[in-house]
Amino acid sequence: MENTIFVLCFILILFTSRVNSQTHHDNFIFNGFSNARNNLTLDGASLITDNGLLQLTNKTGYIVGHAFYSSPFNMLIKMMNNSSNSSTKKCSSFSVSFVFAIVPADLKKGGGHGFAFTISPMNKLPGAFSSHYLGLFNSSNDGDARNHVFAVEFDTVNGLGAFGDISSNHVGIDINGLTSKISADASYYIGEYGTRKEHVELESGSPIRVWIEYDGVDEIVNVTVAPLHMPRPTRPLLSFNYDFSALFKDQMFVGFSASTAKLSSSHYIIGWSFRLNGAAQEFTVSSLPITPPPSLVIPPSSSNTTTKIVKIVVPVVSLMLFITLVVALLCMYRWRRRRLSETLEDWELDCPHRFRYKELYLATKGFKQSEVIGIGGFGEVYKGVIPTTGEQVAVKKINQNSLLGIRQFVAEIESLGRLRHKHLVHLLGWCKRKKSLLLVYDFVPNGSLDIALVLGRNKSRVVLSWEQRFKILKDIASALLYLHEDWDQVVIHRDVKASNVLLDADMNGRLGDFGLARLYDHGDDNPRTTQVVGTLGYLAPELARTGKATTGSDVFAYGTLLLVVACGRGPLNPNVDNSTLMDWVSDCYQAGQILEAMDKNLNLSYDVEEAELVLKLGLLCMHNKPELRPSIRQVSRYLNGDDLLLCNNNMGHGCSLSLCP
Ligand SMILES: *[C@@H]1O[C@H](CO)[C@@H](O)[C@H](O)[C@H]1NC(C)=O
Ligand SMILES: *[C@@H]1O[C@H](CO)[C@@H](O)[C@H](O)[C@H]1NC(C)=O
Ligand SMILES: *[C@@H]1O[C@H](CO)[C@@H](O)[C@H](O)[C@H]1NC(C)=O
Ligand SMILES: *[C@@H]1O[C@H](CO)[C@@H](O)[C@H](O)[C@H]1NC(C)=O
Ligand SMILES: *[C@@H]1O[C@H](CO)[C@@H](O)[C@H](O)[C@H]1NC(C)=O
Ligand SMILES: *[C@@H]1O[C@H](CO)[C@@H](O)[C@H](O)[C@H]1NC(C)=O
Ligand SMILES: *[C@@H]1O[C@H](CO)[C@@H](O)[C@H](O)[C@H]1NC(C)=O
């Protein structure tokens, strides 16, 4: 019975021990630590964050944090030596991999002090100091062989002589003390033969992966470091030959230790994998917790300046370019608008004959020089086509400096715009813009009478026949009659002359430019500044004295036109100085040879009665005394043969013509 109980107990013990040995871990992996609270022994400041990070320290100064895997590992294996009948211990191969991130408290000065992966006989490190001691040792046990501690330090503060630190960003292998057996600046080798070395910033806040591998046969420990997103480097950063069997006890704990001081950092372990006698499992990178809060990530120091500058400068420059572009477009738009705009005064708003400047601008192709069809005393005349209607027009551009009476004038042309007679060149409208006034007229294709007479003389064009000339003179007389008498108010033309007579397609005469001389006549309110307007030779003598245009002065000018058309020459006699065409015709008349004055280019092919009538009527209309001149109605009657003009021989200067009813 006792035996059976003993056997049962033995079996039970055997079983349990067997179960124990079977369930004993030889590997683990943490893809984040959310479910690892029971598997870890935390000490000091270390904790597991809500999102599954193992935080060894926060940014508080002078703290220590430890985290160990709760169960120890049997690092040593007993090896029998049959020949010497003794046993020796060998350290098992092991492989550890982890991902960490260090977020410094002070972005400029950097953080501190670092952390270490450690293999220790205990799952805590009592009495260890913070700062340079990394929570591993204290001043009294540092370097003590009884520590049995192996550590790989990730040191972010240069101890400046203490512990042989090489830099503030180094990786070192420590045995029992903080003076590293071997260390190197944190970096990794890449390239096919591992020839290129890349810097790793431990305090970048970015996740960094570490592989620590020990081969129990070769007794070499390798440490490899690389950013998480990089593939595993082909060469380890540190390779250290050491027999751990002398260092380790049978059972060892694996874990981490970190510390802060005046300089501090949050030290995070993100994932951790370990295996005895084999390669540590690979992480599932996608399931690793995200660390640390991106806002706390320190920008890399050197390349970040450029990045920062680029990040600031590029948007600023783009913004400036954009603003410049917008301003330029606005300026162009405003410039174009202003170029085409007109400032309207209140009174201009209700004028039905007002044209838009833009319309005229487009009609004349931007007042192109090639569109100029004439240059008069007031300014250039452009041919144009109104875009909306396709109507051909002549646009007279008056660039006069003094358009003081413009409002009054416009009021007048507004009413003149209503004048309609087949022998008038119609004023279609107007447009005032700044100091220029644009007048829009019918386009009359055959140009002006003075040109037609001159060109005829040069034989380059068919000479205007007497019939045409006589017809034109009657046309103009009817137009003047309309202005003087047939409209609801008396309109004085003020500038009747050959160049203001235009010829339409059928060589009918049309009188243009009526009322324009009014522009210069501010005389109603200030007679002394009155400027005499008209054309030399067409100017009635009393106009020079009074400055006051009347229907009589228009008749005088018309008389000049009669002579000019009949004689085919200008009003001022080019042959004799200080002699006018009127003087010459008058001389011919008094010599009884009035037809001598006729245009030689007509080759005597004219109606003698009509010719005599025109010449005599011309002289009569140019009578010195306005009251002795016929009215335009009377002139029309003579020309149309309604009345007969009977003359004595006393024509010429101051001549008195007896008008025969
Ligand atoms: C953590 O501990 C639990 C039991 O407490 C166990 O089931 C689990 O496998 C352990 N995880 C690791 C990775 O060791
Ligand atoms: C940092 O850790 C220390 C030690 O555990 C703790 O006293 C302190 O409250 C922590 N600070 C913060 C901001 O969590
Ligand atoms: C030592 O002897 C044991 C049996 O006594 C044997 O199983 C083992 O293989 C031997 N080891 C060597 C290295 O010869
Ligand atoms: C076994 O012991 C002998 C004698 O002490 C020694 O020479 C030999 O190296 C040992 N073998 C091993 C594998 O340790
Ligand atoms: C080795 O040990 C065994 C038992 O412990 C013993 O019987 C044997 O004699 C020893 N051999 C030598 C060479 O010491
Ligand atoms: C250092 O640590 C050891 C072991 O934990 C402890 O016994 C000792 O008192 C500590 N020394 C100091 C100076 O704290
Ligand atoms: C350690 O690194 C060396 C040199 O790169 C290599 O030959 C060796 O196999 C590595 N050992 C382990 C365990 O990775």
pLDDT digits (tens, 9 = 90+) for 21-46: 434 678 999 999 999 999 999 999 99
Residue 222 beta carbon below 6 angstroms from any ligand 7 atom? yes
- Inside any domain, residue 50: yes
For position 223, which CATH number holds? 2.60.120.200
For residue range 102-144, list pLDDT tens digits in order.
Answer: 999 887 788 889 999 999 999 989 999 998 999 999 999 999 9
Summarize pLDDT for 66-113 with one digit per residue, the tens: 999 999 999 998 888 888 888 889 999 999 999 999 999 887 788 889
In a domain, 308, yes or no: no
245 Cα–ligand 3 center, Å:
21
**Statement to judge: residues 239 and 376 lie in one domain:** no
CA–centroid distance, residue 78 to ligand 4 (Å)? 14
Active site residue 525: no
Identity of the residue numbered 119: I
> Domain boundary at 442, 477, 507, which?
442
pLDDT at 160: 67
Do residue 623 and residue 542 come from a single domain? Answer: yes
pLDDT over threshold 50, residue 262: yes
Q: Buried b / exposed e across 108-142, counting CB within 10 Å, b at 16+? A: eebbbbbbbbbbbbbbbbeebbbbbbbbbbeeebb
CA distances from 73 to 26, 77, 211, 244, 255 (A): 7, 11, 18, 14, 11
- Residue-range definition of the domain harbouring residue 502: 449-659
Residue 22 CA neighbour count, 13 Å, CB half? 6
Ligand 6 pocket mutation, candidates 123, 137, 140, 142, criterion most atoms within 8 A of CB: 140
**Ligand 1 atom having least distance to the Cα of 29:** 13
Cα 222 to ligand 7 centre (Å): 6
Between these two residues, 637 and 165, which has the higher pLDDT value?
637
Does 252 reside within a domain?
yes
Range with the poorest average pLDDT among 130-134, 252-256, 313-317: 313-317
> Taking 70 as the threshold, does the pLDDT of residue 250 lie above it?
yes
In 136-293, which ranges are continuous DSSP H helix? Answer: none
Question: Among residues 442, 461, 479, which one ends one of the domains?
Answer: 442
Residue 184 Cα to ligand 7 middle (Å) = 17
Ligand nearest to the CA of 83: 4
80 CB less than 6 Å from ligand 3? Answer: yes
Distance CA(511)–CA(524), nearest Å, equals: 25
What's the pTM? 0.51
* For the CA of 43, the nearest ligand: 2
The preferred substitution site among 49, 58, 268 for testing ligand 2, maximizing ligand atoms within 8 Å of CB, is 58
Q: Identify the residue whose C-alpha is closest to ligand 6 atom 13.
A: 140
For the chain, what's the residue count?
661
C-beta of 97 in contact with ligand 2 (< 6 A): no
Residue 53 resides in a domain: yes
What radius of gyration do the chain's Cα atoms show?
A: 58
Residues 426 and 476 in one domain: no
Q: Are residues 360 and 266 in the same domain?
A: no
pLDDT confidence tier of residue 295, bands split at 50, 70 and 90? very low
Structural domain contains residue 500: yes
Residue 296's pLDDT band (boundaries 50, 70, 90)? very low
Of all protein residues, the one whose alpha carbon is nearest to atom 6 of ligand 3 is 82
Is the beta carbon of 124 within 6 A of some atom in ligand 6?
no
Same domain, 66 and 193: yes
For tokens 């590293």, what's the residue? 180
Query: From the CB of 614, is ligand 2 less than 6 Å away?
Result: no
Has residue 177 been placed in a domain? yes
| 43/160 same-domain check | yes
Nearest to 66 by CA among 122, 141, 145, 111: 122
Which ligand is closest in space to the CA of residue 122?
Answer: 6
User: Percent of the chain at pLDDT above 90?
Assistant: 40
What are the distances in angstroms from CA 56 to CA 45, 138, 271, 449?
6, 18, 13, 108
* CATH code of the domain in which 576 resides: 1.10.510.10
Q: Which helix (H) or strand (E) holds 437?
A: strand 436-442
Annotated binding site: 397
Residue 564 has pLDDT above 80, yes or no: yes
**Are residues 117 and 212 in contact, defined by beta-carbon separation less than 8 angstroms?**
yes
| 595 alpha carbon – ligand 1 mean position (Å) | 138
Confidence label for 380 from pLDDT (cuts 50, 70 and 90): confident
Same domain, 40 and 186: yes
Q: What is the pLDDT of residues 588-630, one digit of tens each?
A: 898 889 999 898 888 888 999 999 999 999 999 999 999 899 9
pLDDT score, position 43: 94
Quote the ligand 2 centre to 109 CA distance (angstroms).
21
- Which atom of ligand 1 is found nearest the CA of 28? 13
End-to-end CA distance of the chain: 180
Q: Which of 495, 521, 554, 599 is catalytic?
A: 495
Q: Please tell me if the CB atom of residue 156 comes closer than 6 angstroms to any atom of ligand 2.
A: no
Report if residue 339 sits inside a domain.
Answer: no
CA of 290 to the centre of ligand 2 (A): 21
Q: Would you tell me how many other CB atoms lie within 10 Å of the CB of residue 270?
A: 26
Whether 189 lines ligand 7, by a CB cut-off of 6 Å, is no
Say if residue 413 is in the same domain as residue 473: no
Point out the annotated binding site for ATP: 397
Same domain, 521 and 631: yes
Strands (E) in 82-207, as ranges, are 86-91, 94-104, 114-120, 150-155, 170-175, 182-185, 187-190, 196-199
Quick one: 431 and 454 in the same domain?
no
Of the pLDDT bands very low, low, confident and very high (cuts 50, 70, 90), residue 155 is: very high
- Does residue 14 line the site of ligand 3, with CB under 6 A? no
Residue nearest to atom 7 of ligand 2 (CA): 45
Contacts (Cβ under 8 Å, ≥6 apart) of 546:
none
pLDDT above 70 (res 347)? no
Split at pLDDT 50, 70, 90, the class of 650 is: very low
Of the listed ligands, the closest to the CA of 128 is 6
What pLDDT is attached to residue 344? 62
**Structural domain contains residue 80:** yes
CATH number assigned to the domain comprising residue 416: 3.30.200.20
Contact 178, 134 (CB under 8 A): yes
Examine the domain organization and report whether 375 and 269 are in the same domain. no
Judge if the beta carbon of residue 63 lies within 6 A of ligand 2. Answer: yes
38 C-beta closer than 6 A to ligand 1: yes
Determine the atom of ligand 7 nearest the C-alpha atom of 211: 14
pLDDT class of 322 with cuts at 50, 70, 90 = confident
Domain boundary among 272, 287, 302: 287
Instruction: Say whether both 191 and 163 belong to one domain.
Output: yes
Backbone CA torsion sign across 538, 543, 548, 550: negative
Total of domains in the chain: 3
DSSP collapsed to 3 states, 468-503:
HHHHHHHHHHHHHHHHHHHCCCCCCCCCCCHHHEEE
